[in-house]
Structures are given as C-alpha cells and as structure tokens.
C-alpha cells in the first residue's frame, strides 16, 4: 500500500512539472526551435542530474508512464498509414522506402560497429555485444518523425509529388521499422546473452512475429468496441490508453511465463501489436474518423509527459563525455540518408533534380525514435542508459536540423505555398472588391463614405448603368496573378470576394501566396468550404448565419449593436495600428482619450488581448475603437508616427 501511495505522490509531482515544462518550452518555439527540444531540455533541467525535482527513485517508479506513452505513439504511427492516400505515389514511395531501409540500416550498423572502440560504453564489449548495439543503432537511424513532417507540410501548405512521397515514405518507414526493431532487439538479446542461433531460434522468431500480428488484430477489435460504445470521449481516451498499456503488461507476463515453463523467453514487441491494431482500425473499420480525433486531441498531453520524462532520464555527465560521438553519429546518419535518397529515388523512377534533395525530408526524428531508444534502455540494464543518452543527443540534433532542411527542400521542389509577407502599404485604408452587384456597390459606397479608396473588379463584359455609380469599376479578363497585379492588389489593405466559392478560393490563394494581404473577406456560399478558406486566414461571412446572428444581437443588445454597426449618427468603429513611438509602453488609462471614445480590444501578434486601464500599448498593436467620427479622426492622428 505504501508503495502505491509513493507512486501516486511521484506521479502527481511529475504531472505538475510536466505542465510547467509545457509552458516553458514555448520559449524554444519562439526561438524557432522544435517544441520537442524544449520539452527534452526542461526534462534535463528538472531531472536528477540538475535540479533533482524528478529524482532517480521517481524515474524508476514512473517507468510505467513510458509504456502508456509508447503505446500511444504506436497508435499514432499506425493511424498515419492510410493506404488510400498512398496509392497515387506507390512506386515512388516503395522505391524510396526500400532505399532508406536497406542503405541506412546496413551502412549505419556497419559504421557503428567499426567505430565501437571510440564509444565509451562499447569499447570493453565483446564482439557479439558490439554487433547487437550496432544493429539496434542502425534500426533507430531509420526511424522518422511523421508528426514533424506533417507539421512542416501544413505550415507551408505544401502540395505536389515530392511532398506526397515524403509523407508516404515517413509513415511507411515508421511502420516497417517497428517490425525490424522487433527482429533486431530479439537478435540483440540473443547475442548479449550468448544464445545460439539455430533453426529453432528462427522458427520461434517467426512465431513471435505471427503472434504479434494475431494480437494486433485482436487489439483492433477491442479498439473498435471502445470507440463504438456510447460514452464520454475522455473515458474512451482513457480506455484506449489502458488497452495499449495492457499490451505491454501482456508482453511482460508472456516473457516471464515462457521462461518459467519453457526455459525460453518468448518476446512479442508491444509496439508492433499496437501499430498493427491501429493500422487495421484506420484502414479497415468504420471507426477511423473518431479514432483519429481521439488521437489528435490527446497527443499534446501524451507528448509533453513522454518527452519531459525522457529528458529527465538523460545524464548530463554521460552526455558531456559522448557529445563528440553524438555529432559523429549524426553526420554518419546524414551521409547514409543522402546515399539512400539517390538509390531510393532511382528505384522509384523520380526525376534527377528531386533525387538530389530526396534525403532532406527524412532527417527529423522524434516520438518513434525516442520510443525505441527508451525500449532499448529498459531492456538492457547497464549500458542501456548510456546508449539512450547518446542516441537522444543524436535525435535532438536531427530534430533541430531536420525541419529547416525539409522546408528548404519543399521550396526547392517548388511545392511550398506559404503566406507572402505583407508589404508596406503606400495607401492604407484601400479595398478591392471582386464581384459587381448591388451589395458590392452598396459596400463600396459605404467604405468611401468612411474615406476608403475602393475598386470593384468584375468579370462581366457589360456593366451598363453601373459605370455612373460613383465607384471605380475595373473589368478584368480572368482571375490570374497578372490581373490582380494590374489592380494593384499588392498595395491593397483589404480584399473582399463576392463571387462563387471556387472563384473566391482562387482569389484567396493568389492573395495569400503572392501579396500577404492583411485582410481577405469572403462571402461564403456553401458551408462545406468553410475550412478551406479558414486555413488561408480569410475572414468568412456566411449570409444565412450572419443574418441570424445580427438579429440575435439586435434583440439582446440593440444599442450596442447599432453603435458597432455605425448606425448611430456620427458614430463609427475603426482599427488603428500603434505607430507613434511615444505611445509605446503607455497604459490605456494614461492616454487621455476623448470622453466619447471606447477601446474595445487590442490585437498583438495576431492574439486578441482583453484590455483594461493598466494594459500597456506596444508598437504595431492593432487597437479597435468606437466613438464619434470626429474624435476617432483625432485619435488616428495621435496613433500615427
């Protein structure tokens, strides 16, 4: 009972540290470093080798937490392997995967074996043990980071054959590396323990793999049942994690049982069971969407706990002595990736110019690599910790270097679609409206009444009496970059699209990629297109819901709604950028604003701040104000530089 109470105390303390580590790791993100690196560093700082907030005794008692996290990581990898998305690039993906698996594993393992005398914990090993460590290192060299790859792809909105191949190879490789790891760790145990290799050993190894696949299938049925039952999502998440942990418990029990009754350890890799179960649920069940949502919603919490705990287990003393070895292994892995990229690209029939950069997407490592490293550390007591320290250092280097290299490769392949940098506007308060109709004309006139410069672009050839509307109307032959440049779209503060959803999306993409327009407002026709526009950062107006929302506000707060809509006489609402350096760091209560001006909100670095009298302004803040037109104009002059 006392032991369980002690574990509960350790777990509670660790969870508090993990929450703090998650907050502090945000500083690393601001420095353009991966979040995983921040969590590892925070784990090191709070671990037994620095501040000792997480003691060695706590690490030993919290070992079960790793099993929960590793099961989750395996579920995530299996869920990423969605066969329907890999079919279009199957030849290229299989060619590159074969190249990466064979060349990286063979060259990586051989190199580690030949430099074993320079690695402190390997120098005194016998030949068989050196072979075991080399095989395990070569296996971990293969592992990738699907989460990091997908994050970069989403960030850059990358599309094209190079990107498709990178995602497919990364996910497929992580699936296959678990199978390879199951084989190499079994062989490694046999080599370290001096077990002889014979026909019986091979048959048992095949039976272990077959049993893992069978248990994986059974696990998929259990996962399907958990998702099927009608209960809270949190309960489903807990049950899924417990089921994954159960596979680790089952594997451990089976090893002890087989050793007791057969004098031979039957080892079934729980990671392989979990990844197979997840793969089947994702590809061959009706529960895929809900399963993916549960994994997506849970992954941040699990990753924070896992990476912080891994960081705490890293010995700085050992790390200081092996850092040069870690850098050497990092460079060796890069070299094997380059050779594997050429070979894999040639097998897949990819163009030569892509083969030159084919290795760049696969540098990054994270969850799976750390998971395999943790498994080795737990399996081989003694040198396992030193092995893990060196490999974690290599993984950190790969995680720092990998994403920037992949970003460069995407741009080199011409498949990046990042948002352009917003230019310095020659004429702010300018709007470009696409679509000529009564609503666009009414909008243009209202903006002009508030001293905006407005253009309306139309695809219509006959605009008839609308030429005399008092609004500048420009006829364009089509929606192209050249047409938008002819309309000075790069110097426009706001673009409003009032065409079909297909035409609106094309305008939004052109503005996003080429001009970085500050605000793009879209009138939406079909709700199913909402997410597409939202990903481009567009401000979306859905007429039906907007009307209902407007009526609701009028019913509940008619005076405030009239004020915000500018319906009150001589009243308006505007957004101003703080340019005056004298206002920098000045509290709102010290601004001496006109009595009829109200500060509604402050937006800083795209984050809205709920303001009060003690809120201090910063240059480049966007301040939303409401008040009389005359007072607002006076405030505008004060905010300008």
Where is mean pLDDT largest: 217-231, 304-318, 422-436? Answer: 217-231
Residue with tokens 């000045």: 586
Q: Who contacts 311 (Cβ-Cβ below 8 Å, separation ≥6)?
A: 39, 40, 41, 42, 43, 44, 46, 47
Main-chain phi, psi angles of 604, to 5 degrees: -130, 120
Average the pLDDT over 518-545 and give the result.
Answer: 82
For the chain, what percent of residues have pLDDT higher than 90?
Answer: 6
Give pLDDT, residue 218: 93
For residue 219, pLDDT beyond 90: yes
Range scoring the smallest mean pLDDT among 154-158, 264-268, 513-517 = 154-158
Q: Mean pLDDT across the stretch 76-87?
A: 74
Specify the range with the lowest mean pLDDT, choosing from 112-116, 369-373, 387-391, 552-556. 552-556
pLDDT at res. 567: 60
- For residue 193, is pLDDT > 90? no
| Distance from C-alpha of 423 to C-alpha of 435, rounded to nearest angstrom | 24
- What are the Cα distances from residue 342, in Å, to 99, 144, 299, 547? 8, 18, 34, 58
Residue 217 banded pLDDT, cuts 50, 70, 90? very high
Judged against a pLDDT cut of 70, whether residue 570 lies above it is answered with no
Residue 468 has pLDDT above 60, yes or no: no
What's the mean per-residue pLDDT of the chain? 81
- Contact in structure between 366 and 147 (CB atoms under 8 Å): yes
Per-residue pLDDT of 406-417, as tens digits, reads 888 888 887 776
290 has a pLDDT exceeding 90 = no
Indicate the range of 301-310, 373-382, 457-466 predicted with least confidence: 457-466
Most confident range (mean pLDDT) of 259-268, 276-285, 571-580 is: 276-285
**Maximal CA-CA distance, the chain:** 96
Nearest CA to 166 out of 346, 366, 407 is that of 407
163: nearest Cα among 177, 142, 149: 149
Q: What pLDDT sits at residue 64?
A: 86
| N-term to C-term CA, the chain | 69
Closest CA to 364 of 420, 318, 409, 421: 409
Query: How far is 297 from 236, CA to CA, in rounded Å?
Result: 12
pLDDT value for 242: 92
For the chain, state the CA radius of gyration: 30
- In eight-state DSSP terms, residue 429 is S
Mean pLDDT of 192-202: 71
Q: Residue 516: pLDDT band by 50, 70, 90 thresholds?
A: confident
Q: What percentage of the chain reaches a pLDDT higher than 70?
A: 88
Q: Which residues contact 160 (CB under 8 A, 6 or more apart)?
A: 413, 414, 415
Q: How far apart are CA 220 and CA 619, in angstroms?
A: 55
CATH of 568-639, one of 3.40.50.12780, 3.40.50.2300, 3.30.70.1450, 3.90.1010.10: 3.30.70.1450
Is the pLDDT confidence value at 321 over 80?
A: no
Q: Which CATH homologous superfamily contains domain 430-546? A: NAD(P)-binding Rossmann-like Domain (3.40.50.720)
Contact between 389 and 407 under an 8 Å Cβ cutoff? The reply is no
Looking at the DSSP assignment, which residues form a beta bridge with residue 521?
A: 496, 539
Name the pLDDT band for 239 (thresholds 50, 70, 90). very high
Please say if the pLDDT value at position 475 is more than 80. yes
The pair of structure tokens assigned to 175 is 């699936």
259 pLDDT above the threshold of 90: no
For 593, residues 6+ apart whose C-beta sits below 8 A from its C-beta are 599, 631, 635
Say yes or no to pLDDT of 531 above 60. yes
Is the CATH number of domain 2-412 1.20.1530.20? yes
The CA dihedral of 504, 510, 515, 519, to the nearest 10 degrees, is: 20
Q: What is the pLDDT of residue 74?
A: 82
CA proximity to 495, closest of 600, 422, 566: 422
Band (pLDDT 50/70/90 cuts) for residue 243 is very high
Give the closest residue to 517 by CA, choosing from 487, 488, 486, 493: 493
pLDDT on residue 439: 82
Q: What is the pTM of this model?
A: 0.63
Domain range annotation of the chain:
2-412, 430-546, 568-639
Angle at the Cα of 209 from the Cα atoms of 206 and 213, rounded to 5 degrees = 140
Interatomic CA distance for residues 187 and 194, integer angstroms:
10
Q: Which of 192-201, 230-239, 366-375 has the lowest mean pLDDT?
A: 192-201
Which residue did the predictor score with more confidence, 233 or 462? 233
Mean pLDDT of 255-262: 81
Question: Which range (2-6, 17-21, 477-481, 521-525) has the least confidence?
Answer: 2-6
Please work out, in degrees rounded to the nearest 5, the angle formed at the alpha carbon of residue 514 by the alpha carbons of 513 and 517: 90
Question: Does pLDDT of 370 surpass 90?
Answer: no
d(CA 146, CA 167) in angstroms, rounded, equals 7
Q: Where are the alpha helices (DSSP H) in 413-525?
A: 438-449, 481-486, 501-514
Most confident of 89-98, 174-183, 496-505: 496-505
Q: Do domains 430-546 and 568-639 have the same CATH topology?
A: no
pLDDT tens digits, 125-172: 888 888 988 999 998 888 887 666 766 676 677 777 788 788 778 878
């Amino acid at each position: 009972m006392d032991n369980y109470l002690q574990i509960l105390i350790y777990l509670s303390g660790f969870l508090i540290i993990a929450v703090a580590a998650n907050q502090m790791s945000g500083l690393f993100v601001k420095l353009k470093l991966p979040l995983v690196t921040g969590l590892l560093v925070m784990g090191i700082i709070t671990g037994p080798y620095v501040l000792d907030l997480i003691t060695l005794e706590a690490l030993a008692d919290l070992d079960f937490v790793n099993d929960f996290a590793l099961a989750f990581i395996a579920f995530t990898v299996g869920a990423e392997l969605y066969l329907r998305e890999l079919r279009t690039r199957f030849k290229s993906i299989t060619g590159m995967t074969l190249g990466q698996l064979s060349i990286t594993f063979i060259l990586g393992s051989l190199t580690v074996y030949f430099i074993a005398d320079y690695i402190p914990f390997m120098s005194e090993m016998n030949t068989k043990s050196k072979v075991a460590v080399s095989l395990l290192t070569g296996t971990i060299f293969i592992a990738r980071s699907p989460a990091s790859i997908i994050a970069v792809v989403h960030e850059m909105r990358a599309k094209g054959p190079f990107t498709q191949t990178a995602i497919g190879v990364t996910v497929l490789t992580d699936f296959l590396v678990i199978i390879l790891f199951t084989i190499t760790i079994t062989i490694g145990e046999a080599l370290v323990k001096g077990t002889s290799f014979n026909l019986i050993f091979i048959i048992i190894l095949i039976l272990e793999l077959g049993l893992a696949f069978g248990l994986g299938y059974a696990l998929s049925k259990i996962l399907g049942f958990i998702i099927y039952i009608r209960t809270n999502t949190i309960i489903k998440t807990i049950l899924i994690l417990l089921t994954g942990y159960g596979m680790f418990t089952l594997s451990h029990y089976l090893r002890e049982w087989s050793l007791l009754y057969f004098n031979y350890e039957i080892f079934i890799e729980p990671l392989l069971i979990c990844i197979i179960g997840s793969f089947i649920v994702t590809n061959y069940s009706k529960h895929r969407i809900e399963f993916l949502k549960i994994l997506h919603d849970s992954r941040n919490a699990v990753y924070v706990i896992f990476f912080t705990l891994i960081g705490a287990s890293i010995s700085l003393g050992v790390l200081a002595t092996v850092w040069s070895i870690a850098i050497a292994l990092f460079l060796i892995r890069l070299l094997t990736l380059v050779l594997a990229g050429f070979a894999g690209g040639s097998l897949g029939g990819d163009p030569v110019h892509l083969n030159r950069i084919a290795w760049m997407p696969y540098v990054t490592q994270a969850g799976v690599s750390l998971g395999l490293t943790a498994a080795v550390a737990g399996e081989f007591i003694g040198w396992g910790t030193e092995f893990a320290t060196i490999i974690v250092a290599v993984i950190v280097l790969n995680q720092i270097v990998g994403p920037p290299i992949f970003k460069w490769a995407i741009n080199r392949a011409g498949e990046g679609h990042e948002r352009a940098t917003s230019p310095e506007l020659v004429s702010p308060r300018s709007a470009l409206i696409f679509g000529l109709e009564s609503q666009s004309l009414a909008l243009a006139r209202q903006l002009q009444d508030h001293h905006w410069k407005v253009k309306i672009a139309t695809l219509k050839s006959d605009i008839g009496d609308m030429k005399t509307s008092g609004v500048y109307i420009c006829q364009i032959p089509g929606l192209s970059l050249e047409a938008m440049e002819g309309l000075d779209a790069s110097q426009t503060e706001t673009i409003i699209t009032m065409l079909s959803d297909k035409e609106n999306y094309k305008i939004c993409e052109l503005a996003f990629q080429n001009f970085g327009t500050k605000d793009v407002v879209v009138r939406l026709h079909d709700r199913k297109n909402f997410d597409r526009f939202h990903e481009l950062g567009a401000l979306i107006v859905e007429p039906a819901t907007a009307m209902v929302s407007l009526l609701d506000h009028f019913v509940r707060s008619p005076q405030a709604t009239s004020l915000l809509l500018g319906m009150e006489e001589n009243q308006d609402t505007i957004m101003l950028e703080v340019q005056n350096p004298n206002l920098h760091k000045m509290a709102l209560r010290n601004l001496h604003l006109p009595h009829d001006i109200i500060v509604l909100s402050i937006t800083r670095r795209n984050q809205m701040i709920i303001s009060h009298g003690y809120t201090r302004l910063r240059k480049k803040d966007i301040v939303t104000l409401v008040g009389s037109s005359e007072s607002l104009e006076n405030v505008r002059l004060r905010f300008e530089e």
